[in-house]
Chains A and B, each alone.
Chain A
Amino acid sequence: MTDAIWLDHYPQEVAKELPEIPHHHLPSLMGEASKKYSGQKAFTQVMPNGMNGTLTYEKVDELSDHFAAYLREELGLVQGDRVAVQMPNCLSYPVVAFGILKAGCVIVNTNPLYTAPEMVHQFRDSGAKALVVIDMFADRLPEVIGKTNIETVVTVKISEFFPAVVGKVIRGVQRYWSRSLPPVEVSHTLFKDALAKGKAQASGKDYLEGIGRDSLAALQYTGGTTGVSKGAMLTHGNLVSNTIQMLQMNGKYIQEGKEIVLTALPLYHIFAFTVNLLGFYYVGARNILVPSPRPPSNLKRAFENYKVTWLTGVNTLFNALLNERWFTDRPPKHLVASAAGGMALHESVATKWQEVTGTPIVEGYGLTESSPVISFNPLGGKVKIGSIGIPVPSTLMRCVDENGKPVKQGEAGELVAKGPQIMKGYWQREDETNSTLVDGWLHTGDIGEMDEDGYFTIVDRKKDMILVSGFNVYPNQIEETIAAMDGVTEVGVIGMPDEKSGEKVAAFVVSSLQEPSREEIIAYCREHMAAYKVPSMVTFVDELPMSPIGKILRRELRDGALATASSSSDTSKGA
């Protein structure tokens, strides 16, 4: 077994093992913060034009109590029932999420941009009985609801809990200018009515009797990029532990009751769910919720109007901000640090970020299946750019070979991890659970290496590896190299079938200026990499297929490229 050599690199204030946590479920953890910071601002939702609404800790606590009462008393749901939530970042989200958890029910986060078939799959698979959905996306419901177990639909407005006049203005703009309010054609309850019903029936009953660390808190769907989407069963214990683990690792850089964190990543994604919603709430921070960071100029007013001290994001978001002139001209003055996860943080982006903002950016690593944080660079210790850091407290991590045997330090192998944050399994999928959780070790499907300090580096996804004449080529390295060139906005690298070498390296480049040229890119790669890794195919594209948080979907890229290749060869045959 790998020795936990990384423990030597824990900053002094970071405990090597998680301390005893008095909270056995999330509502208890959140409740502590709600009491401690009751009068403070908990969430502020900021629209692209600066319009905003705010909820205090006290209000979030009270409203989520009402929603819990609505679910249990009015709808008659019982402990363990699944409730699907489908909305962008907005003030309703924490009320709904905490309400579901307080009711002892299970939250099923759902991407609002899902198509009808994707929604049907997720709702059926989870067996959700109720759905809380943003009204802007309710037009898909008629073809969805009938195919699922959903009995109740609650619709929320994007401007929920805003000051009355401002809320009306936003509503008016949505209705008459942007025309983004389709009629809701299924029977539904307005969120404010649901809250009123809950309030009327609230009896102070304890809906959480019997709920403990092992009880299910969330079904978090994942694997949409690899095939069929499956629900990771995250327990209260998983999420409580991971919240504390994440906070522990950042030590004194997160100050209780003082932070303002910008939440541009969607809360329905596990990274923002645990880190921003749970973690920063627990320490009394003010969450600035941005409904959509697309285009990135949507974040301008949020940065102008609030003294943002923390930012969480993915490589795509940091890179996008660094390409915005308003951001680089006036980087946020009060920023303390930024945390990156979700996908590999490119070294070029990390370096530029530190230059522009003058603050550190630390990369962490995790999976939906691990709630998600497994490792982080310790802010108070040695931060290694390009590395995913060291395991968080009470977590073990190692690289193993195909037979599950640990490899030597410095050698590449599949990353596996063990700790209190690792999921219980996949919802109703025993086979997949057994192949992913082996003796308590989560097999991540990522190839990594550990250096002499115990810091881990991701080499690539196991399944994305390209085999060129028997040599292992990892697309990440090539992407990173090309992305560092001036003029390149995004790049995706995949393997394509090749008669001579089995597979060949193909790069798809997004560049607004059409420079550097194909020849320049290849020449640059020749300079920086072994010859077999140099792409033999460079294609300029307008955009790359990406997951909701900006991970390049290599599978889709490959499918698209193969389709194009076969159709063009057909044409050439025809001609």
Chain B
Amino acid sequence: MRELMILAAEEANAATVVNEFEELLLRIFVVTIMFGLGAGLTPKDFGLALRRPWGLIIGWVTQFGIMPLVTYLLIISVLLPFSSVEGIMLVALGALIMGSVPAGTTSNLFTYFSKGNLALSVTMTVNSTLWAFIMTPAALFIYSNFLGLDESLSIEFSELALVIFGLIVPVALGMFLRRLSANIGAVLELIGGALGLLFIPFLIIIWVPRNWPLLMSTEWPTYAVAIGMGLVGITAAYYLTKLFKMHPMNARTVALETGINNGPLAIAVIIAVYIDNPGIDQILLVPALYSLFIVLISTAVTLVFRRANLAAEQKIPNLL
């Protein structure tokens, strides 16, 4: 959620910036949501995700294979030919970083709402975050070379550890509480789900007005990249899983997990590495837009997935 602070700080008048409180609120939101999601899981769910590692392997391939590639293709086919802004290579660099980071908690939330395999989603997030230590710099190195940029970056392991910690602790605690009492677990899950629903409009309400000038001054090719990454990423991963004949639940999970990357992580990495770069605004542009639009895209995708799930649900006679 750090992007909110940064952008707000840049775009808004310093006197109106009150988002330390908002940031705290968002953190509480995310932890409570993960806590609630955890309360819906059992250790056996994770056992299953690990026992059938295909989902995990395919997810790994789509995460680090598809997303950076999709981003690169969007950059060379849309952003570079059609954009006239100065410093466009910096925008491209930001997009590449966004495309190369792993998934975050947002993907877990949408998997839950899509009736996907939540245990697989959480496992995939942890897995891809661990791998990000090697894979994110590697993907960035390869594609920035293709773009003629000579960029390299390294991710602090502590950044990744923080992500994993923030994910595993609430989930484990939620699982523990459910074991203690199914009633507490169910109530927590309900609260987590409700907060998850509120989370979407809340994010939009605090994001959009404050960044209105930014939204107005951004060119369409940049939008196309920021929106296209998630949309094409989810679609491509979904059809790939279909090719492997994955169970629809797992296919939905892998698709969302692939397309939804960890926006806050990308922004944190950029700030850590490029804080002295005068073009940091441009580098942050795509990650900031992506973080907003991925929530909207995922909501739409979730509605489609839910409808498909309902259609596939077993119709058994009224036993009531």
Contact = CB atoms under 8 A, between A and B. Distances in A.
B316 A50 contact: no
B81 interface: no
Given A320-B314, A324-B314, A88 B185 contact: no
Nearest to A44: B182
B161 interface: no
A113 B44 contact: no
Interface string B177-190: 01000110111011
A546 interface: yes
B314 A323 contact: yes
B313 to A, nearest CB: 5
B317 A330 contact: no
Contacts of A512: 312
A548 B187 contact: no
B315 A542 contact: yes
Contacts of A301: 182, 186
Contact of B187 (A166, A265, A305, A325): A166
B316 A294 contact: yes
Contacts of A169: 187, 190
A165 to B, nearest CB: 7
B187 A52 contact: no
A340 interface: no
Nearest to B193: A49
Nearest to A302: B182
Contacts of B42: 304
Contacts of B317: 294, 316, 546-550
A47 B186 contact: yes
A interface residue count range (under 10 / 10 to 19 / 20 to 34 / 35 or more): 35 or more
Interface in A491-544: 510, 512, 542-543
A174 to B, nearest CB: 13
Interface string A266-310: 100000000000000000000000011111110001001100000
B15 interface: no
A166 B178 CA distance: 14
Given A325-B247, A548-B319, A51 B186 contact: yes
A264 interface: yes
A184 interface: no
Contacts of A320: 314, 316
Contact of A317 (B48, B183, B189, B319): B319
Contacts of A146: none
Interface in B128-182: 178, 182
Contact residues of A: prevailing secondary structure: loop
Residue among B185, B247, B313, B315 facing the most chain A CB atoms (10 A cut-off): B315
A550 B319 contact: yes
A293 B316 contact: yes
A185 to B, nearest CB: 22
B249 interface: yes
Nearest to A329: B48
A296 B316 contact: yes
A257 interface: no
Given A325-B247, A330-B44, A330-B48, A52 B183 contact: yes
Contact of A49 (B44, B189, B247): B189
Given A50-B185, A323-B314, A266 B48 contact: no
A28 to B, nearest CB: 31
A339 B190 CA distance: 34
Contact of A295 (B178, B187, B314): B314
Nearest to A330: B44
Contacts of B189: 49-50
A329 to B, nearest CB: 6
A323 B48 CA distance: 18
B320 A548 contact: yes
A112 interface: yes
Contact of B186 (A112, A166, A329, A549): A166
B318 interface: yes
Contacts of A329: 48
Contacts of B247: 325
A546 B316 CA distance: 9
A113 B320 CA distance: 7
Nearest to A319: B316
A324 B190 CA distance: 23
Contact of B316 (A51, A52, A316, A547): A316
A88 B320 contact: yes
B60 to A, nearest CB: 22
A125 B185 CA distance: 46
Contacts of B182: 46, 50-52, 301, 305
A320 B313 CA distance: 10
Interface string A317-334: 100100111000110000
A542 B317 CA distance: 12
Nearest to B315: A543
Contacts of A489: 314
Which 10 A-B pairs give the minimum distances between C-beta atoms?
A: A546-B317, A50-B186, A51-B186, A292-B320, A550-B317, A50-B182, A49-B186, A320-B316, A305-B182, A166-B183
Interface of B: 42, 44, 48, 178, 182-183, 185-187, 189-190, 247, 249, 312-320
